[in-house]
Structure formats: C-alpha cells, structure tokens
C-alpha cells in the first residue's frame, strides 16, 4: 500500500513542475515573441510595447529632459494602435502632477486639467475629438426664409480636436476662478448668444469628462528588451 502511494506521488510532483513551467516560463517567452520592443518595470510588467506592426500598444512612460530653459517632464498613459487613448498624466521631473488629459484616438476629448509646480489647479480646458475620416456634425439653425422655423445644417470641422465646452482659469494661490470662456464647436459662445437654444448642441452644455486616471505606471527597471522576430 505504501509502495502504491509512492508511485502515485511522483506523477503529481512532476505535474506540478510542468504546471510551473507552462504558466511561468512559456508566457514570458511568448510575450517576447509578440512584442518587437518593450521595457520591464521592477515588478516585471512590460511597458513601452511595440508590436509587430511597429505600433505602440498598452502602457507607456516617457521622460523629457529640460531643453533650452523649458522644464522637463514625465508622461504616462496608454496607447492603442499607436494613438493615445484614455487618461494620461504629466509630472514634473520632481514627481509633481502637472496635467491630467484625456484622449480618444490620439486627440484630446473632454476635460483637461493643468496644475502649477505647487500642485494648484490653474486651468481647466474642454475639448472635442473629431474623427478625421468623418469631420462633420449636424446642428439646428433658423431657416433664412422662415426664421421661426429651425432646419438642420451640416458643419465641417477644420481640426481633429476643437475647443468645446467651458474653460476655467484659476488663481493658483487663492483657488478661485479668474476667467471663464465657453466654446461651441470651436467658436466662442458669445457669437451664438442671440441664437435660439436649439442651435446649441447638448454636448456643449454637458461636455464629456475623463474617467478616473489609472494608477501611476512604474518606471522601467532595466534597458529595453527586444522580442524574437
């Protein structure tokens, strides 16, 4: 009976070693084969990934040194098919948060927040990302022949990201708003103030805002790795 138990124990031992190899060795090998380039964080996570199509994917971290008196900064966020996607953060080289931005397909969208070196909010911007392949929107305007009636008008955006919504400027030390601007599809709202409310798109009243920013991406722990071709 004891001999039978020993015979059964050996397969279990080797099976456990096989499971360890499959789950802990093979994934890292396949990961190296999938990414042409990447870096490793202290925890062993891959960042700054470049896929077989030479496109940036997933979490990225950049560092820009001071140049000609311009302060350097660090930047982190996510790429999807070589374009910034979702929340991004900027930090001073001392590690202080200086900006929170939000992107859709590489263009700013919704609320963007900027801080001074002391960490005080100094500016809130609101943008709308426009699909370059379809740079059109539909708004309601008064009919020239019948001003009491509203008709649809198609407008074309000249840029892939346009000012859209409320912009606030703050006194960083006092924390109070010193100036407010409002934009509708790139145009100051004052130009449309005498038009009926139906002309102003709903998105201008309630612009999209970014979701909660991700946790800070760990800096790479070692030199960039190259995957197998």
Q: Is residue 30 part of a domain?
A: yes
- Residue 194 belongs to domain spanning: 121-209
In a domain, 177, yes or no: yes
221, part of any domain: no
pLDDT at 129: 94
Please state the domain count of the chain: 2
Q: Is residue 103 one of the residues assigned to a domain?
A: no
pLDDT at 133: 79
In-domain check, residue 77: no
- Asked if residue 183 belongs to a domain, the reply is yes
The rounded distance, in Å, linking the Cα atoms of 164 and 126 is 6
Summarised one tens digit per residue, pLDDT across range 88-144 is 999 999 999 999 999 999 999 999 999 998 899 999 999 999 987 787 777 677 777
pTM of the model: 0.68
Q: Two tokens at 175?
A: 């924390």
In a domain, 142, yes or no: yes
Question: Residue 226: inside a domain, yes or no?
Answer: no
pLDDT digits (tens, 9 = 90+) for 139-174: 677 777 877 888 887 777 778 899 999 999 999 888
Calculate the CA 177 to chain-centre distance.
26
pLDDT at 67 (0 to 100): 93
């Amino acid at each position: 009976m004891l001999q039978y138990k020993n015979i059964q124990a050996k397969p279990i031992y080797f099976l456990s070693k096989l499971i360890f190899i499959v789950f802990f060795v093979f994934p890292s090998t396949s990961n190296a084969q999938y990414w042409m380039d990447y870096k490793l964080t202290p925890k062993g996570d891959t960042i700054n990934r470049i896929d077989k199509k030479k496109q940036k994917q997933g979490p990225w971290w950049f560092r820009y040194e001071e140049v000609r008196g311009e302060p350097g900064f660090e930047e982190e966020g996510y790429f999807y098919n070589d374009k910034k996607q979702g929340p991004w953060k900027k930090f001073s080289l001392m590690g202080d948060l200086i900006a929170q931005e939000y992107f859709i397909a590489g263009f700013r969208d919704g609320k963007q927040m900027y801080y001074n070196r002391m960490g005080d909010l100094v500016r809130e911007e609101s943008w709308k990302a426009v699909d370059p392949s379809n740079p059109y929107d539909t708004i309601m305007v008064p009919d020239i022949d019948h001003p009491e009636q509203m008709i649809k008008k198609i407008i074309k955006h000249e840029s892939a990201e346009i000012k859209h919504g409320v912009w606030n400027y703050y006194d960083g030390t006092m924390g109070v708003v010193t100036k407010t601007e409002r934009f509708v599809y790139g145009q100051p709202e004052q130009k449309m103030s005498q038009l009926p409310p139906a002309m102003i798109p709903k998105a201008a009243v309630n612009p999209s805002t970014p979701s909660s920013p991700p946790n800070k991406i760990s800096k790479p722990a070692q030199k960039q790795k190259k995957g197998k071709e």
